[in-house]
Amino acid sequence: MDVLEHLEEEHRKVEQLIADLESTTTAAQREPILADLGDALAKHMDVEEERLYPIVAERLDEDVARRANADHDTARDDLVRLVDHSDRPEFVSDLAKFKEDLAHHVGEEENYIFPNLRMNAAHDIADLGDLHKLEEEVQQELIDENIELIDENIAR
């Protein structure tokens, strides 16, 4: 299984978590699912933003990479709104918007970005290696970057 296939598998898991949320009626039911969704999306988006989208920018189109990153920013904002509204009636409409936005993004990735990467950047994708190791590597890099920023701020 290559990185792209694994990312597609993660898309299915996120879609299932959204379906699980759709069947909830209380914040107590929603909160653990939202936590799982947040964790799944954080890892997934970090790998795409740090490793995949730079390949997209280089091999396909910088605008496509920018739009994909913007979609991730929207998803983060929408997820915060879902958490904030987990006990409110507007949760249902917020979830519908999140689902629609995510479906559009996933469709763009699976129908355009991933197939084009397979055709135009297969070697680059293969070089990414195992997704689990890649996730750990990216998370460690992000931690290191945050530590450096904190150290710089302290030094000021």
Could you tell me the residue ranges of all domains in the chain? Answer: 3-155
Cβ–Cβ under 8 Å, residues 86 and 34: yes
pLDDT at 148: 64
Distance CA 110, CA 99 (A): 16
pLDDT in tens, 85-95: 999 999 999 99
CA distances from 13 to 6, 67, 151, 154, 156 (A): 11, 23, 37, 40, 43
Widest pairwise Cα distance in the chain: 50
pLDDT in tens, 97-121: 999 999 999 999 999 999 999 999 9
One-letter amino acid for residue 108 of the chain: E
**HSE, side-chain direction, 13 A CA sphere, residue 130:** 4
